[in-house]
Amino acid sequence: MQNNAPLAANSIIGILGGGQLARMLSLAAAPLGYNVCIFCPEKSSPAIDVSHSNIVAAYDDEVKLKQFAQQVDVITYEFENIPAKTIEFLTQFTTVSPNLKSLKTAQDRLVEKDYLNAVGTQTAPYVNITSHNDLDAAITKLGLPAILKTRTMGYDGKGQVAIRNTDDIAEARKLISNNKHGDCILESFIVKFCA
């Protein structure tokens, strides 16, 4: 379901996720005349104590998700690691923005960078990494410093290793070996470290 009409005063904005961004969104919505309902799995999330209402449940709890969708006028999310199935389910009941395609693009750093470059946005140079050999070849190609990131499920610095010099390569190899979420991506630094 998609609705592009302006959101009326006193509407309820549903936010998936209860972290710091959801807290800031809740605080910003109130003076504009909007109420916020937070949906998140953690009872102690930062946004819960500043929201109009909340539902604490897992992102795959369809009973609670339907209840959430039926009490809000529009839904958004505060971070890209919301399961795509959750967004797909919620769109049956109300408008979700950004849409499912946007979420899927933002969830994979390689897909996201490929998309941005295809539409003319310049990103830092990057290489897909599936093995230690790929990492070695990418370091040769891109140089150092660089940063190795998991393609998916990284957030707030998680799933990342900065490679400032060759001493950091061993730690980067550990990320590749222990990455339960799939491939990685090596990105050049846009601004090199100062000496």
Domain CATH number, residue 102: 3.40.50.20
Tokens of 90: 């919620």
Domain-embedded: residue 40 = yes
CATH of the domain at 176: 3.30.1490.20
Query: In what side-by-side order are the strands of the sheet with 35-40?
Result: 53-56, 35-40, 12-16, 74-77, 95-96
What is the tens place of the pLDDT at every residue in 102-139? 999 999 999 999 999 999 999 999 999 999 999 999 99
The span from the CA of 71 to the CA of 150, in Å, is 36
Pick the more confident residue, 156 or 193: 156
Name the one residue in this structure whose structure tokens are 């610095």.
157
Q: Do 74 and 51 fall into the same domain? A: yes
Q: Confirm if 30 and 6 have CB atoms less than 8 A apart.
A: no
Give residue 1's pLDDT band: very low, low, confident or very high (50, 70, 90).
Answer: low
The span from the CA of 195 to the CA of 7, in Å, is 50
Distances (CA, A) of 82 to 35, 49, 61, 121, 164: 22, 21, 13, 25, 31
Q: How many domains does the chain have?
A: 2
Q: Which of 6, 100, 83 is nearest to 39 (CA)?
A: 83
Q: Do 102 and 114 fall into the same domain? A: no
**Is this structure's pTM higher than 0.85?**
no
Q: Do 67 and 139 fall into the same domain? A: no
Interhelix angle 100-107/109-118, rounded to 10 degrees, is: 110
Q: Do 16 and 101 fall into the same domain? A: yes
The span from the CA of 101 to the CA of 103, in Å, is 5
Section 42-56 average pLDDT:
97
